[in-house]
Amino acid sequence: MEDRDGFQEFVRARLMSLSRVAYLLAGDHNAAEDLVQSTLMKVALRWHQVREAADPDAYVRRILYNERISAWRRRGRGAEVLTDTPPERPSTVDEAEAVARRLMLRRALARLTARQRATIVLRFFEDLSPAEAAEVLGCSVNAVKSQTHHAVGRLRALAPELAELLERSTEVPR
């Protein structure tokens, strides 16, 4: 690969943030690791275009999100787990509440479609505007707004305990 050092340096500076987004999108460590790897493989294959792009981070982000949506479509059985999940073991009451909220959110996110989940992560974790999110997902701004509306509504239905938090988070649309 041409300019391998440049590629390595680029990835090193962004690996942790890519890993975090991958984990949010994929929901578990193995799938997140696979997602990071397939994304980086595509970045390596197109390194020349990525390096020359006006916004290389946006380019990589597009690859990451599209990889996740494609992987989701390939694998059908992921969300239909029927066994209970052993709880994480909190040490204090506050921590217990935080753990419970995290679990609720993870479970609810796992029931969203790939695009809905990607929309939630882009809008509320990466803090992108609808226009920016639309560019990443390759769809219209209206489609992002409608996906956001459906995704938040679905989260509210799946995790009623988070309703108040969701209300507050979506009060002021950008």
36 binds another protein (CB under 8 A): yes
Binding to another protein, residues 43-102 (CB under 8 A) = 43-45, 66-67, 69-77, 79-88, 98, 101-102
32 binds another protein (CB under 8 A): yes
172 backbone dihedrals φ, ψ, rounded to 5°: -115, 90
Report in angstroms how near the CB of residue 73 gets to another protein at its nearest.
Answer: 6
Q: Which of 6, 41, 55, 142 binds another protein (CB under 8 A)?
A: 41
Residue closer to another protein (CB basis): 58 or 102: 102
Q: Candidates 50-58, 120-128, 129-137: pick the segment binding another protein (CB under 8 A).
A: 120-128
**Checking phi first, is residue 172 left (phi over 0); if not, alpha (psi -120 to 50) or beta?**
beta
99 backbone dihedrals φ, ψ, rounded to 5°: -65, -45
Say which residues have a Cβ less than 8 Å from residue 34's Cβ, sequence separation at least 6.
26, 71
d(CA 118, CA 65): 7
